[in-house]
């Protein structure tokens, strides 16, 4: 009985988490496209970008195109990426599609759109921030963003030497550069480049925001220190940084002498302080590298 209750509680948590991910990512993505992307005439890449380009050509709401593009992709993703991943990513996209269609019928919604006469560069940055947030929510929830990732995975099934990430980037690049032939037709070359440059800015911001959200705020640095004065050095590091230190027995392969390897994870602002400590211990060798998403208490 208790085991069944735990399973039921676990299923409810999964359901609530998936629902929140669908709602959050769908709403944020729809707002990004409606407020910043479409009015400023640039395609952010992926399936969203294809839908935006089709709207620019036909003057039909991009929400309809998102539905038409994502329904067949759902069946591919269902068998290729997994059932839950396909359902969550597709429902999120369908919510975005529905909102984009509904927005046209809500009084006053058109007034909140960021018009191009303000600053198109700021629009591409803001759009990239929101799209990056929506992408991070989907990746954290189900491990896939759907869309061009599904197409890339399909190609990868046939050509194993082509990575999914590289193919996804290639698809996004094709969408971005296609905007050169869609917007500002009949205008000078430099004007036709504007949508491409705005899309590239948006993609860069989307990538950075997505990485930042996925990595979390606990970004730290891992120091590995080889020393003959392990006890003394570890004590000073713990007193000054308030972080724990782990000692590992190591052997130098050149000298075949036993040394102590100290491992310590600290915050970015403490790098200078730890380097000052290490300078007081001649003969000590140290290296450090960034670590993302630190779990645990992270304190001494």
Model pLDDT for residues 75-103, shown as the tens digit of each residue: 777 776 667 777 887 888 889 999 999 99
67-104 burial, b if ≥16 CB within 10 A, otherwise e?
bebbeebbeebbebbeeebbbbbbbbbbbbbebbbebe
297 within a domain of the structure (yes/no): no
Residues 227 and 155 in one domain: no
142 within a domain of the structure (yes/no): yes
Residues 68 and 184 in one domain: yes
3-state class percentages of the chain: helix first, strand second, coil last, to nearest 5: 65, 10, 25
Give the per-residue pLDDT at 299. 53
The structure tokens 């980037």 sit at: 169
195 within a domain of the structure (yes/no): yes
The pLDDT > 90 percentage for the chain reads: 22
Model pLDDT for residues 107-139, shown as the tens digit of each residue: 888 888 887 778 889 999 999 999 989 888 887
- Sheet with 245-251, strands from edge to edge, namely 245-251, 258-267, 220-227, 285-291
Residues 72 and 108 in one domain: yes
Residues 26 and 146 in one domain: yes
Would the pLDDT of 44 be above 70? Answer: yes
Last residue of a domain, one of 187, 215, 243: 215
Dist CA 104 CA 243 (whole Å)? 54
Three-state secondary structure call for residue 290: strand
Residues 10 and 103 in one domain: yes
Residues 281 and 132 in one domain: no
Model pLDDT for residues 279-299, shown as the tens digit of each residue: 888 888 888 888 766 666 655
What is the domain count for the chain? Answer: 2
Last residue of a domain, one of 161, 195, 215: 215
Which tokens in the block code for residue 276? 């000052």
CATH number for position 235: 3.30.70.120
Model pLDDT for residues 132-147, shown as the tens digit of each residue: 898 888 877 765 566 6
pLDDT band at 217 (very low <50, low <70, confident <90, very high): low
298 within a domain of the structure (yes/no): no
150 within a domain of the structure (yes/no): yes
Residues 83 and 177 in one domain: yes
The H-assigned helical ranges of 32-82 are 46-58, 62-80
Residues 148 and 252 in one domain: no
Give the per-residue pLDDT at 300. 45
Three-state secondary structure call for residue 124: helix
Residues 256 and 286 in one domain: yes
Burial class (CB in 10 A: 0-12, 13-18, 19+), 140: middle
Last residue of a domain, one of 165, 189, 215: 215
Residues 82 and 226 in one domain: no
Which tokens in the block code for residue 278? 């290490």
For 282, phi then psi, to 5°, come to: -60, 145
Residues 19 and 158 in one domain: yes
- Picking from 11-15, 148-152, 255-259, 268-272, which range would have the lowest pLDDT averaged per residue? 148-152
Q: Is 30 in contact with 96 (CB distance < 8 Å)?
A: yes
Domain containing 239 equals: 220-291
296 within a domain of the structure (yes/no): no
Contact residues for 238 (Cβ-Cβ < 8 A; gap 6+): 244, 245, 300
Model pLDDT for residues 166-211, shown as the tens digit of each residue: 677 788 888 888 888 888 877 787 778 899 999 999 989 988 888 7
Residues 180 and 47 in one domain: yes
């Amino acid at each position: 009985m208790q085991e069944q209750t735990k399973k039921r509680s676990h299923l409810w948590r999964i359901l609530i988490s998936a629902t929140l991910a669908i709602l959050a990512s769908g709403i944020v993505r729809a707002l990004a496209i409606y407020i910043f992307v479409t009015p400023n005439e640039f395609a952010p890449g992926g399936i969203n970008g294809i839908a935006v380009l089709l709207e620019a050509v036909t003057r039909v709401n991009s929400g309809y195109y998102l539905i038409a593009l994502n329904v067949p992709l759902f069946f591919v993703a269902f068998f290729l990426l997994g059932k839950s991943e396909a359902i969550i990513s597709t429902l999120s996209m369908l919510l975005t599609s529905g909102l984009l269609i509904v927005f046209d019928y809500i009084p006053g919604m058109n007034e909140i759109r960021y018009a191009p006469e303000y600053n198109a560069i700021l629009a591409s940055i803001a759009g990239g921030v929101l799209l990056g947030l929506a992408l991070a929510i989907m990746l954290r929830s189900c491990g896939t963003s759907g869309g061009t990732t599904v197409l890339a995975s399909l190609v990868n099934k046939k050509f194993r030497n082509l990575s999914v990430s590289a193919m996804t980037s290639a698809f996004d690049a094709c969408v971005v550069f296609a905007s050169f032939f869609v917007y500002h037709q009949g205008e000078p070359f430099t004007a036709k480049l504007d949508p491409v440059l705005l899309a590239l800015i948006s993609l860069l911001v989307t990538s950075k925001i997505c990485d930042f959200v996925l990595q979390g705020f606990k970004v730290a640095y891992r120091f590995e220190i080889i020393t003959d004065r392990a006890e003394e050095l570890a004590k000073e590091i713990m007193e000054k940084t308030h972080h724990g230190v782990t000692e590992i027995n190591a052997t130098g392969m050149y000298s075949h002498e036993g040394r102590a390897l100290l491992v310590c994870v600290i915050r970015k602002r403490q790098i200078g302080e730890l380097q000052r400590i290490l300078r007081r211990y001649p003969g000590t060798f140290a290296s450090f590298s960034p670590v993302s998403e630190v779990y645990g208490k992270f304190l001494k």
